[in-house]
Chains A and B, each alone.
With several copies, the nearest count.
Chain A
Amino acid sequence: MKELRTDFLGVKLSSPLVLPAGVLDISFSSYKLVSGYGAGLITTKSLTKEARKGHEGPVVTEVEGGMLNCMGLCNPGIFEGLEEIKRFREISNVPVNLSIFATDAEGFTELAKEANSSKADFLELNLSCPNVSDEFGVPLAASEKTVAEIISSVKSVCRLPVIAKLSPNVTSFTRVALAAADAGADALCMINTLGPGIDIDIEAGRPVLFNVSGGLSGPCIKPIALRLVYESRKAGITIPIIGMGGITSGEDAVQMLMAGADLVGVGTAVYYRGPEVFEKINDEILSFLERKDYHFISDIKRII
């Protein structure tokens, strides 16, 4: 009997596959759709204090090996967002990871307090939105100090396990990862979108995205995601890691586990293989376990 069930921070998940923040997760119906296809954990769209309508379109553009998006953190705001979780709870027991976004420790802490009264199982801090950055394109939370500050502050008020979602777009990723762990993060989530990048329409002589640039996701960022997970482990990170970035097949998911992840996010792959991708990848992982005579997900974790 091969086994996909896994334990994450004390919560039982039916599969190591996670719906990451921002993909099909505006409303409880989307959570239901995706969990129905076998995702073990649902992450909400990153919620901010107030509703945000996001950037003007075009907000997505397909590029070789992936996709650029500049959704612009559109979300209905924390209060309506928590309502969606409540609605989902009425129809499903699949655990929910509540993603929040703010621009400073105070803002995160305020949202984290709201999370205490929510039906969510985990709180994820989106410390890595490529759309909010200073004039030199530096993500707000590129610094170890800021990351540590936000996490400590949130931890001091929040009853839920806290997951720090990190940006790959920094010179020294593992230093930030270590700072996050030291500050008390219960788990890390990596990676957010890469870049950002630009696509140009040569007929119009214009950037395709109205926001000019957007975060790169999809298959082509997988090698970088695998490296950052692998290097985080090598650097001594022992807390759980949700690894994501381009995971599209069972083979990809197995690679991510082998690199050192405990759970595996599947986002942009929904574009390539539909929401059924969760069911498909679950099956593909099972076939791999079968063929290589492994029994549990834990048998392949960190084996490279």
Chain B
Amino acid sequence: MIKDKRITLPIAEIIEETAEVRTFKFDAGIEASPGQFIMLTDFNGGEKPFSISDTDGKSLSVTIKRVGQFTARLFEKRIGDIVSIRGAYGSSFFIPGKNSGPNIDAANFRPALCGGGFGLPPLYLLAKKLLKAGVPAGNIKVISAGRTENDLLFEKQFGGLGVDYTGAAESVALMSPGRFKGTAAGAFAEIAKGVTGLCNFVYASGPDLMMKSLMPHFSEELEYQFLFERYMKCAIGICGSCVVDPSGIRICKEGPALWKAQVEQLKDFGVYRRKASGSIDYFTDRMAVKAEGAGE
């Protein structure tokens, strides 16, 4: 019996989110929770991890940014083209009353959802599930970070949640003219200021440096979960490619969603990542600036 069945199927729908970001939808009935990811390949070289940005049990979406060779090839695909996915993999985000975490009930749960670049889409699925679990829409603060206004993702979708579920989640767009100008961290501080006492949990998802830049604004007792990206090859916990230092946490298994207590142990967080070979790749100042400044 094969535990990990791959599903090969045509692309059902392609949605252009921005010039560089598209959502690919598949008629695949995969059980998945927010924060989890799939591995996707077209059998032409490369199999890459993508967070699940939406699922209703019958269909599943991933939202992909064109960054290199593999994603560029995906952007040439049309509806009906065949790709192959496996998963869902990894740990998922806390949902009050659904899985284990702090003892807060849905009504009193006031989370901030901070996403940078393609870190935002998994927070969309999270927001949907939070609403479904009974968290009042008005309790949910979404902070989206993008380089320019054009990079801001899922503004409409988050707005739509307001329509679908009473009391829309607040979508705060940052770092674009006419809105908040600054970093994700700055926006979080701003939000936190505005809603003091109202935010008792943070979900963050994006580049290390963006997530790390949020932390100085956290009160000591604030509980959080960060969604990590590390180089993934097997995604089933055996190759060691995605392991973080020094705890040996496998981002593909115990992650990608890590708890505060796990994050606090990390010594590579925001400092370095491992490349495909396993060699250490230190974040450069340029990257730091890029990440801090662009939230991506």
Contacts and interface: CB of A to CB of B under 8 A. Distances in A.
Contact of A80 (B41, B233, B278): B278
Nearest to A79: B279
A223 interface: no
A201 B6 contact: yes
Contacts of A23: 238-240
Contacts of A270: 237-238
Nearest to B245: A29
A75 B46 contact: no
Given A80-B278, A274-B237, A201 B43 contact: yes
A236 interface: no
Contacts of B240: 23-27, 30, 45
Interface stretch (B120-128, B130-138, B269-277): B269-277
Interface in A133-168: none
A208 B43 contact: yes
Interface string B260-276: 00000000000000111
A300 interface: no
Interface in A27-44: 27-30, 32-34, 36
A27 B274 CA distance: 9
A33 B248 contact: yes
B276 A207 contact: no
B247 interface: yes
Contacts of B82: 203-204
Interface in B15-73: 39, 41, 43-48
A268 interface: yes
B213 interface: no
B71 to A, nearest CB: 14
Interface string B232-262: 0110111111011111111001000000000
Of A60, A201, A207, which is in contact with the most chain B CB atoms at under 10 Å from its CB?
A: A60
A201 B238 contact: no
B278 A29 contact: no
A45 B253 CA distance: 20
B243 A60 contact: no
A2 B285 CA distance: 56
Interface stretch (A7-15, A51-59, A106-114, A115-123): A51-59
Given A26-B241, A29-B248, A56 B46 contact: yes
Contacts of B234: 59-60, 69
Given A204-B8, A208-B6, A28 B246 contact: yes
A88 B9 CA distance: 44
A71 interface: yes
A201 B8 contact: yes
A63 B2 contact: yes
A122 B276 CA distance: 26
B280 interface: yes
B43 A210 contact: yes
Interface in B209-236: 233-234, 236
A176 to B, nearest CB: 27
Nearest to A22: B239
B277 A51 contact: yes
Contact of A24 (B6, B45, B238): B238
A81 B254 CA distance: 24
A219 to B, nearest CB: 10
Given A62-B2, A210-B43, A268 B238 contact: yes
Given A76-B274, A76-B279, 16 more contacts: A22-B239, A26-B240, A26-B274, A27-B245, A29-B244, A29-B245, A30-B248, A45-B240, A56-B47, A60-B239, A62-B236, A64-B2, A76-B278, A76-B280, A208-B43, A210-B41
Interface of B: 1-4, 6, 8-9, 39, 41, 43-48, 82, 84, 233-234, 236-241, 243-250, 253, 274-280
24 contacts: A23-B238, A27-B243, A30-B243, A45-B240, A57-B39, A57-B47, A57-B233, A59-B239, A60-B234, A60-B239, A62-B2, A69-B234, A71-B233, A74-B276, A75-B278, A76-B278, A77-B277, A77-B279, A201-B43, A208-B43, A210-B45, A271-B236, A274-B237, A275-B237
